[in-house]
């Protein structure tokens, strides 16, 4: 299907190019809206717009499908959680109906569980806070390094620009001749 689409697109591109190049020769004295060329261009325009719409929908279809699957999974999770909660509620009501001692035991167990959960949540929050702090410190250090590098680059560029300006001011034809003469004498000394 993809090859067919590519073939259609390339054939359509070639056909469009030929029609556009032949348009001046096919122009008639009639109004552009009523001529054959006008109708041809309308159909070409329609085909291009229709092709763009089909292409956009085909590109978006996997995203829509994936989104629908995610929603379906979440609905299933919610249903399972609700069913588990309902089952637990029925079990608790059955236990409460017969035994008062079990209720007292469950209250003690629930309190202990809540305290353990609260402790676990506090520990988890502390751990996450430490991780966030470490990540923030690493980000700060990285940005500081980047800023220092940027500052060094800026300082080097400004120093080079200043040196160029000074050289331009101090370099005269006479000083260039002196430098060239010194260079030539050094070369002669090295050759000998």
From the CA atom positions of the chain, what is the Rg in Å? 40
- The whole-number pLDDT of residue 32 equals 53
pLDDT at 28: 46
Nearest alpha-carbon partner for 167 in 151, 179, 153, 156:
179
How many whole angstroms from its chain centre is CA 134?
A: 25
pLDDT per residue rounded down to tens, the chain (192 residues): 444 444 344 444 544 544 444 454 444 444 555 788 888 999 999 999 999 999 988 888 888 888 889 999 999 999 999 999 899 988 878 776 766 777 678 888 989 999 999 999 999 989 998 999 999 899 999 999 999 999 999 999 999 999 888 877 877 888 888 888 888 888 888 776
Report the pLDDT value the prediction gives residue 140, as an integer from 0 to 100: 93
Residue 98: the pLDDT is 65
Domains of the chain, by residue range, sit at 1-98
Find all residues with CB under 8 Å of 106, minimum gap 6, and list them. 92, 95
Round to whole Å and give the CA distance between 18 and 5.
20
Tell me how crowded residue 35 is: count the other CB atoms within 10 A of its CB.
15
């Amino acid at each position: 299907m993809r090859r067919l689409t590519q073939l259609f697109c390339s054939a359509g591109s070639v056909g469009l190019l030929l029609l556009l190049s032949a348009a001046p020769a096919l122009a008639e004295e009639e109004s552009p809206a009523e001529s054959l060329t006008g109708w041809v261009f309308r159909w070409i325009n329609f085909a291009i717009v229709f092709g763009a719409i089909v292409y956009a929908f085909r590109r978006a279809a996997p995203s829509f499908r994936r989104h629908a699957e995610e929603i379906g999974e979440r609905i299933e999770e919610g249903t399972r959680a609700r069913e588990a909660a309902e089952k637990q509620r029925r079990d608790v009501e059955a236990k409460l109906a017969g035994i008062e001692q079990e209720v007292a035991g469950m209250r003690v167990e629930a309190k202990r569980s809540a305290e353990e959960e609260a402790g676990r949540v506090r520990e988890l929050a502390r751990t996450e806070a430490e991780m966030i702090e470490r990540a923030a410190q690493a980000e700060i250090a990285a940005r500081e390094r980047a800023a220092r590098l940027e500052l060094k680059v800026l300082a080097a560029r400004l120093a080079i620009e200043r040196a160029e300006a000074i050289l331009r001011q101090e370099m005269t034809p006479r000083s260039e001749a002196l430098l060239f003469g010194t260079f030539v004498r050094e070369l002669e000394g090295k050759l000998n």
